[in-house]
Structure formats: structure tokens, C-alpha cells
Amino acid sequence: MAQNKTVTNADLEKYWQARLAADREYRENYERLGMPSPTELDRRREQSRIETERLSEKLRSAELERERLDVLRDSYAQQATSYERVIDLAARAALALGLEIQETSVFSRKNYFYPDLPKGYQISQYDKPFSANGHLTILTADRDEHGRVEEWKPMTIHIQRMHLEEDAGRTFTKGLPETDKYSYRPESGRDSAW
């Protein structure tokens, strides 16, 4: 069974006096006791406080870095899935247009300012695109003065390159610049209205 004891102010005063006496005895007898001086103890405490603070900061930084890397890893995993889909669609389009898929394609920064591009650059391919040198043949018509088709003719359109690029954003304009709104989400779609 737990014992209950009331602690009075007199008890606290006795404890405080005993503590002061022990500190005084230590200060007077530290050499005889083989203990470090009070000044040395203070220096060690301060050094310990500084080391603890440094270690705490290091641990905080390590935890933040771990969290950042976890987010980055998850982001890359999501991107890898969507990149596979993008490459698949790009390859299908290239084959449909008779383009030659290049062995090497390079992404680089295209620097320019635009309100829906807050970072000031877009990741794009230009010098080494995904595919190049293709064509698309369409039918065109000669028409008479009434707009009726007289003859269908094939017309070949040369396609110099097909490259991939980052979808930077979208500007929704309602007439005046101060009413413009911006979307930086790729999933916002090209047909959605603001």
C-alpha cells in the first residue's frame, strides 16, 4: 500500500538547506574528495550542453533529410510509372508518323519567362529529340467555285522532329490580364474551365 506524506514548507526548507550545505562542502573539499573543481564542473556541463545541442541539431537534420529522401523516392516511383506511359505513347505516335526513333534523346532546360512558368525554365528536348524525319500523308481536295470537291489529291507533310517536354502550366484568360488565372497541375487538363 502506498504511503502518503504531506510535504510542508518546513520540509522543503530543510531540503534546500541540506542541498546548500552539500554544495558548500563540495566547493571546500573537492580536491580532498578527488573530484573536479566547481569551475571545471561548470565547464564540463557547458561543454555537454553544447555537444547535446549539436547532436540534437544533427539528428534533426538527418531526420529532415530522411523525410526529404522518402518524399523524393515516392515521387520518383510515381514518375517512373507515368514516364513509361509517356514513352509508350511517344513511340506509338512516332511509328504512326513514320518517324525514326533516335537511339539517344536529351532533355535540357529551355529558359524563358511566362506567368504560368514560375521557375523560369521548361524541361524540353530540342537538339536531340525523341524521334525525327517522318511524314504524314493526308488527302486534300481541289474545289470548284461552289465549294464542291472536284478531285482528291494526296499531300505529304514532312515532320522534322517530335520531342517530349514538361507541361509547364496553363493560363486561363478571361479578357483582362488582372483576371488571368494559372494552373500548374498537369492533371488539370486542356479542356477544363476555370
Write the pLDDT tens digit of every residue in 9-42.
Answer: 999 999 999 999 988 888 888 888 888 888 888 8
Write the pLDDT tens digit of every residue in 171-189.
Answer: 666 766 666 666 655 554 4
The answer to the question of residue 96 being in a domain is: yes
Q: What's residue 166's pLDDT?
A: 79
If one counts the domains in the chain, the total is: 1
What phi and psi, each to the nearest 5 degrees, are found at residue 85?
-65, -45
The answer to the question of residue 72 being in a domain is: yes
Q: What's residue 72's pLDDT?
A: 82
Q: Is 138 helix (H, G, I), strand (E, B) or coil?
A: strand
Q: Which domain holds residue 56?
A: 12-165
Closest among 172, 44, 25, 161 to 102, alpha carbons compared: 161
* Mean pLDDT for back-to-back runs of 10 residues, the chain (194 residues): 82 93 85 84 92 94 90 75 84 94 89 77 86 94 91 94 81 65 55 40
How much is the pTM?
A: 0.46
The answer to the question of residue 99 being in a domain is: yes
Q: Is 139 helix (H, G, I), strand (E, B) or coil?
A: strand
The answer to the question of residue 67 being in a domain is: yes
Dig out the grid coordinates for 154 from the structure: 494526296
The answer to the question of residue 192 being in a domain is: no
- Residue 155: its H or E element: strand 149-162
The answer to the question of residue 16 being in a domain is: yes
- Chain position carrying cell 529558359: 111
d(CA 129, CA 94): 11
- Chain position carrying cell 481541289: 142
d(CA 154, CA 139): 4
Dig out the grid coordinates for 153 from the structure: 489529291
d(CA 64, CA 76): 18
Residue type, 104: T
Q: What's residue 172's pLDDT?
A: 67
The answer to the question of residue 185 being in a domain is: no
The answer to the question of residue 77 being in a domain is: yes
